[in-house]
Amino acid sequence: MIKVVPLHHHFHSLHKLHLYIYHHILLPWLVPSEIQLHSFQKGKMAMASTTLSSPPLTIILFLLLLGVFAEARDPFACDPKDATTPNLPFCKVSMPISIRVKDLLGRLTLQEKVRLLVNNAAAVPRLGIKGYEWWSEALHGVSNVGPGTKFGRAFPAATSFPQVITTAASFNATLWEAIGRVVSDEARAMYNGGMAGLTYWSPNVNIFRDPRWGRGQETPGEDPVLAGTYAASYVKGLQGNNGDRLKVAACCKHFTAYDLDNWNGVDRFHFNAKVSKQDIEDTFDVPFKMCVKDGNVASVMCSYNQVNGVPTCADPNLLKKTVRGQWKLNGYIVSDCDSVGVFYNTQHYTSTPEQAAADAIKAGLDLDCGPFLAQHSEDAVKRGLLNDADVNTALSNTLAVQMRLGMFDGEPSAQTFGNLGPKDVCTPAHQELALEAARQGIVLLKNHGPSLPLSHLRHRTVAVIGPNSNATVTMIGNYAGVACRYTSPLQGIGNYAKTIHQLGCADVACADDKLFSGAIDAARKADATVLVMGLDQSIEAESRDRTGLLLPGRQQDLVSKVAMASRGSTILVLMSGGPIDVSFAKNDPRIGAILWAGYPGQAGGAAIADVLYGTTNPEGKLPMTWYPQEYVSNLPMTDMAMRSRPLKNYPGRTYRFYKGPLVYPFGHGLSYTNFVHTIASAPKVVTVPLDGRHHSGNTTVSGKAIKVNHAKCNKLTIGLQVDVKNTGSKDGTHTMLVFSTTPAGHWAPQKQLVAFAKVRVPAGAQQRIGINIHVCKFLSVVDGSGVRRIPIGVHNLHIGNVKHSVSLQAATLGVIKS
């Protein structure tokens, strides 16, 4: 390490020196005030050119300093400087990974093996293998939540994208994959600098089943197809397209039926989710199946809860039979942190810790986040509850992933991503993508008049009010890292107009009205008023489920009083992960517009301002239903049933099964222009071919349906050509959602999202977009026994107000045999 004495004298630490130069010298040059925007047209991303001035000498010196202080990572294993290990078979890059793994396992003792079964895997010095921390997080940017990743010195920050629920509102799979590529670039750079791992336990693809769930913000929403498409796209971005080799290893979590943290005295460590086979197959497991089969994810994490009386991390039907057997996971299965200890110590599922260790490993668990397996697996073997082959099976899966990551290939700098470093983190392009993601995820819920966009000429002074009006850390939600920089809503609006700032409430809890008068006075003086209200992690978070859906404390009272006093337009901006009952604002004519920004990431304030002033035409759609408060008044979070039970006053869950009153529906989102759909071409009849061993005609509850595993599904798709015309006066990007209704009867969803696409359409122009709908995946339904079937008959496809009917017919008639 080279010591830079003159500079060091002026700062208490090199860490503070780096932070000072990074924020005060580097970033002002790297992030100019006007950078041309990304555009996502017809599902393809095009990065516009960015012009930067030549870097000043201070920048060059800083980059040199980064290179000095970012120590290169030593090889994890198979160090070419080692005299013996590089010649061992497990170090031979030219050999198949399965052979290398087998060779390494043959050299390990049982004591060494069990210490590799946990997240802080121990070193094996005699074989030249260093210790490794498996737990890192990258939910929406490289995070320091897990112990495997740290910030400091050369890596003071990483790009912080919008929280997942916000990004999901873009309905843009191309964007999701692009974010994954950026995050993995920065993760690899930090790994090369010795500050991060290569195994990231993200994304969270659980279904946002109940609107009160504190972790719903981490998910892609309530629809299984949306969540599964997000999972596969983000994972592809993270893991790269290098065949079996991995850029980083992603992980889809938490398997399965996990969507309760701490509600009404019931917590996730004690909860037994009672779930029907039907709901497991057509809702809870769908995102995980798509993540494994379509995304080829390298890991799946099992959850804390039990499912039908069995801890998920000890259930061979879930892990060994389903994830690895049916879905063919090419990777490892990891427990949520201390899950094995939880099902022994808290759920009392086994009588001894050794039996718990044995049950987990035999069920298919490969890695324990926590110390339990390292502490008890050896004794489980000695007592005959496990054998060496069981331990080898688990380790073969984790070691294979490490080898696919290149961790046994010697010098990291000589590998595919070995050139990535500090220069590749928080780049202008990465930060611009974070801004673009926020713009695409913001949803315009209401626009009366219209009140938006604001005018540069008429709205020169804006009152910016609310507990989230100058938010920074709140915008990045949970499981976040250290952001490159922030643009708060106040700062963003300040780039367009003169601002008058008042909090109105000291925080989102808004316990009293002490600050109301200042806010009301500001609204009287301004040409327009923007209230930035909502939630933060004190209201909804991991281990913190909400008790209701209304704005906290006296927020609603503040909004109404400010709207009544406002001299000009009143705009309500909401930050939250979960839905909020804002019926009062929806129905108040003095509140001209409502925006939902979710948790919009480090550039959230700039994106909000761009939408408010029309620089960006909003294109987001809600990825979850917004219910009225009455929906949850007598609805226990513990009831996992998706389908309604009218005779028992059970309303059902999500847009797929709930038919009651709404604040805003799933998929709702307005634009500053108008789009009209016309179906240019689509089939009216599609024949479903059988696999030759079966015949059609099986009668179900509501008619004829073919088991999916009896059909030839591979290339069975319905192709649509849709013309989208922009009949308004503003250019815009249209987010097109395609829903289906089936002839399957009451046990099927009332409608189901089957496809979505994005298309950029200039004002007055028309664009044609193609949609392909996989029949077996998306037009099938699940019967009461958990069997997926394709209903024969007329399926209706809905695109906005346009409906197209297509008849699915079986190839021949007869009787299907089970």
Written as one string, the DSSP assignment of 299-325 is EEEE-SSEETTEEGGG-TIIIIIIIII
Q: Which residue has the tokens 């980064």?
A: 66
Q: Which residues pair with 282 in a beta bridge?
A: none
Stretch (H or E) spanning 179: helix 173-192
Contact 677, 657 (CB under 8 A): no
* Total Cβ atoms within 10 A of residue 692: 9
* Total Cβ atoms within 10 A of residue 774: 16
pLDDT score at 695: 54
Confidence of residue 84 (pLDDT cuts 50, 70, 90): confident
The token pair that represents 229 in the structure block: 């498409």
In this predicted model, what pLDDT tens digit does every residue of 175-189 receive, in sequence order?
A: 999 999 999 999 999
pLDDT score at 20: 41
In this predicted model, what pLDDT tens digit does every residue of 598-637 receive, in sequence order?
A: 999 999 999 999 999 999 999 999 999 999 999 999 999 9
In this predicted model, what pLDDT tens digit does every residue of 635-664 receive, in sequence order?
A: 999 999 999 999 899 999 999 999 999 999
pLDDT score at 811: 84
Q: Which residue has the tokens 């990074």?
A: 22
Contact 242, 416 (CB under 8 A): yes
pLDDT score at 3: 32
For domain 439-648, which CATH number applies: 3.40.50.1700, 3.90.180.10, 3.30.360.10, 3.60.15.10? Answer: 3.40.50.1700
CATH homologous superfamily of 95-424 equals Glycoside hydrolase, family 3, N-terminal domain (3.20.20.300)
Task: Tell which residue, 120, 146, 119, 235, has the closest CA to residue 479.
Answer: 146
The token pair that represents 373 in the structure block: 């397996």
Q: Which residues pair with 40 in a beta bridge?
A: 45
pLDDT score at 472: 98
Written as one string, the DSSP assignment of 646-684 is GGGTB--SHHHH--S--SB-TT--B-SS-EEEEEEE--S
**675-812 is a CATH 3.30.450.20 domain:** no
In this predicted model, what pLDDT tens digit does every residue of 376-388 receive, in sequence order?
A: 999 999 999 999 9
Q: Give me the chain's average pLDDT, please.
A: 91
Confidence of residue 122 (pLDDT cuts 50, 70, 90): very high
pLDDT score at 83: 84
pTM assigned to the model = 0.91
Confidence of residue 41 (pLDDT cuts 50, 70, 90): very low
Work out the percent of the chain whose per-residue pLDDT is above 70: 89
| Cα distance between residue 253 and residue 237, in whole Å | 17
In this predicted model, what pLDDT tens digit does every residue of 542-571 receive, in sequence order?
A: 999 999 999 999 999 999 999 999 999 999
Catalytic residues: 336
pLDDT of 692 higher than 80: no
* Total Cβ atoms within 10 A of residue 101: 21
Domain ranges of the chain: 95-424, 439-648, 675-812
